Amino acid sequence: MAKYLPYFAEGEVVKGFGRGSKELGIPTANFPDRVVEALPKDIPCGVYYGWAMVDNGPVHKMVLSIGWNPFYKNQKKTMETHVLHKFKDDFYGSTLKVVMLGYVRPMENFSSVDELIKAIRADIAETEKQLKLPKHEAFKDDNFFKTNGEGS
Does residue 59 lie within any of the structural domains? yes
Which pLDDT score is estimated for 152? 40
Based on the structure, what is the number of domains in the chain?
A: 1
pTM above 0.85, yes or no: yes
Confirm whether 150 is a catalytic residue: no
Does residue 148 lie within any of the structural domains? no
The Cα 45–Cα 28 span in angstroms is 17
Does residue 123 lie within any of the structural domains? yes
Does residue 145 lie within any of the structural domains? no
Does residue 31 lie within any of the structural domains? yes
pLDDT at 62 over 70: yes
Three-class DSSP category at 89 = coil
What is the extent of the structural domain holding 88?
A: 2-138
Catalytic-role residue among 80, 108, 126, 150: 80
CATH number at 98 reads 2.40.30.30
Instruction: Please state, rounded to an integer, the average pLDDT across all residues of the chain.
Output: 88
